[in-house]
């Protein structure tokens, strides 16, 4: 069967511009209190009193920055500037350093904890913003956050990074990123997004210390997080005792491509080889276990009791496109091509809201959207799906033998 990458590229381009970016341009701006609104419902009803999280705001900054870099539309630069100025004005902790976790709708801090995940995402956003603005203040801030993470979170004895701290960087009893997470000192998810952030930082600041820490982080994924079954272990104690039995298929495939990118950016040949081998193994396992009969991606499976969560979340499908495309380009194995198109068809049919814009948060096993979940919110951001579109477009363009 012949798969038309040219048509796929055209559909992705239309999706990112008309379905995703247009939605955020038209619905996300908070005209009352500045910055961006904290929540918009499934039915596009705005909650002007909703709290504002750093995860949403940093991902907005990242998205509009890359959108401007890729599409050169001035509206995206304007909104990236808006996001940067809001984060700098309201989320920055001027006393203790780092960024707050959550503000109220007026910009007052309501949760001042220092989640390392949040510091990493702010680095990720600031470095992307620096690429389009050449604002040295943004790059200096990203470097400062790198130093803060290394000073407070890096575990010199056992390696890896401690999950979270109190406002003043003292010990925090409840380190959980969200209510559904285990309260453990070290988590795969935070390490993955430190990796992602450090990769983007290295692109604009090829620092020796940063490179060494990135090499150490990559080796941790290869030795601790990726298990013998080619899945990711999610939660650990400080001394690396595994405390999780849940397989998160979306994180598996997201890690598969972020890990190879990290090794390639720092240009470590030995790690490039090892991460590519791991990525191919993870991607093969993903195809065999994560794809449901309807072409969508199973959310989770508990390896201990066998329970399967068949919900289909938007972000996993976005990451799967890139992860499988990455596996194809580094292996030249055509078995990865068919699932890309299968997943994209599922996205078009079930996850993209063709009437009101953006993607649904999730659908159930019958493909019915969950109307209780928002379009914009603390975790519902434009980053996974816009990034997938841009990554896929650029990766398709880079393949010389593709039917483009």
Q: Answer yes or no: is 403 within a domain.
A: no
| pLDDT score for 197 | 98
Q: Answer yes or no: is 156 within a domain.
A: yes
| pLDDT score for 404 | 44
Q: Answer yes or no: is 71 within a domain.
A: yes
Tokens of 209: 């210390």
Tokens of 314: 């938007």
Q: Where are the beta strands (DSSP E) in 184-242?
A: 186-187, 235-236
Angle between helix 337-346 and helix 314-331 axes, rounded to 10 deg: 160
| pLDDT score for 266 | 98
Residue from 321, 250, 294 nearest 9 by CA? 321
| pLDDT score for 2 | 73
Q: Which residues of the chain fall short of a pLDDT of 70?
A: 1, 400-404
| pLDDT score for 187 | 98
Tokens of 124: 């990720």
- Could you tell me which residues come within 8 angstroms of residue 390 by beta carbon, excluding any fewer than 6 positions away? 16, 66, 70
| pLDDT score for 337 | 97
Q: Answer yes or no: is 144 within a domain.
A: yes
| pLDDT score for 180 | 85
| pLDDT score for 401 | 56
> Which structural domain range is residue 250 located in?
5-398
Q: What CATH code is carried by the domain that includes residue 341?
A: 1.50.10.10
Q: Which residues of 314-341 are buried (b: 16+ CB within 10 A; e: fewer)?
A: bbbbbbbbbbbbbbbbbbeeeebbebbb
Query: Phi and psi dihedrals of 138, rounded to 5?
Result: -65, -45
Q: Answer yes or no: is 361 within a domain.
A: yes
Domain count, the chain: 1
| pLDDT score for 179 | 86
Q: At CB < 8 A and 24+ separation, what contacts does 170-174 make? A: 172/113, 172/114
Helix (H) or strand (E) holding 242: none
Tokens of 321: 């496109």
Kindly tell me the sign of the dihedral angle through the C-alpha atoms of 128, 131, 132, 133: positive
Q: Where are the beta strands (DSSP E) in 173-224?
A: 186-187
Q: Answer yes or no: is 404 within a domain.
A: no
Q: Answer yes or no: is 215 within a domain.
A: yes
| pLDDT score for 251 | 98
Query: Phi and psi dihedrals of 298, rounded to 5?
Result: -65, 140
Q: Answer yes or no: is 149 within a domain.
A: yes
């Amino acid at each position: 069967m012949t798969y038309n990458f040219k048509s796929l590229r055209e559909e992705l381009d239309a999706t990112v511009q008309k379905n995703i970016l247009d939605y955020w341009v038209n619905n996300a701006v908070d005209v009352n209190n500045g910055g961006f609104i904290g929540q918009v419902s499934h039915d596009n009803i705005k909650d002007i009193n909703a709290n504002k999280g750093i995860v949403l705001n940093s991902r907005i900054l990242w998205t509009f920055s890359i959108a401007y870099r890729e599409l050169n539309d001035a509206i995206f630069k304007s909104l990236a500037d808006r996001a940067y100025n809001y984060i700098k004005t309201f989320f920055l902790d001027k006393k203790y350093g780092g960024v707050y976790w959550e503000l109220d709708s007026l910009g007052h801090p309501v949760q001042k904890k220092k989640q390392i995940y949040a510091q990493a995402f702010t680095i990720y956003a600031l470095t992307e913003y620096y690429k389009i603005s050449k604002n040295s203040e943004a790059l200096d801030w990203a470097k400062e956050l790198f130093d803060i993470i290394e000073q407070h979170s890096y575990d010199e004895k056992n390696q890896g990074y401690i999950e979270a701290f109190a406002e003043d960087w003292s010990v925090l009893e409840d380190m959980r990123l969200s209510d559904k997470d285990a309260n453990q000192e070290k988590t795969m998810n935070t390490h993955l997004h430190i990796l992602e952030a450090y990769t983007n930082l290295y692109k604009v600041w090829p620092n020796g210390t940063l490179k060494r820490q990135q090499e150490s982080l990559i080796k941790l994924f290869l030795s601790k997080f990726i298990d013998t079954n080619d899945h990711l272990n999610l939660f650990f104690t400080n001394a690396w005792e595994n405390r999780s039995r849940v397989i998160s298929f979306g994180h598996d495939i997201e890690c598969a491509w972020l890990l190879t990118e990290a090794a390639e950016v720092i240009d470590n040949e030995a790690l490039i080889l090892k991460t590519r081998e791991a990525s191919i193994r993870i991607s093969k396992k993903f195809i065999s276990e994560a794809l449901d009969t309807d072409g969508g991606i199973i959310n989770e499976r508990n390896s201990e009791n066998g329970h399967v969560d068949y919900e289909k979340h938007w972000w996993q499908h976005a990451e799967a496109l890139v992860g499988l495309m990455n596996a194809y380009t580094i292996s030249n194995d055509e078995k990865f091509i068919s699932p890309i198109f299968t997943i994209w068809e599922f996205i078009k049919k079930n996850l993209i809201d063709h009437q009101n814009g953006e993607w649904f948060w999730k659908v159930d096993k019958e493909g019915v959207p969950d109307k209780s979940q928002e379009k914009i919110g603390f975790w519902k951001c434009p980053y996974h799906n816009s990034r997938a579109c841009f990554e896929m477009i650029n990766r398709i363009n880079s393949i010389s033998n593709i039917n483009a």
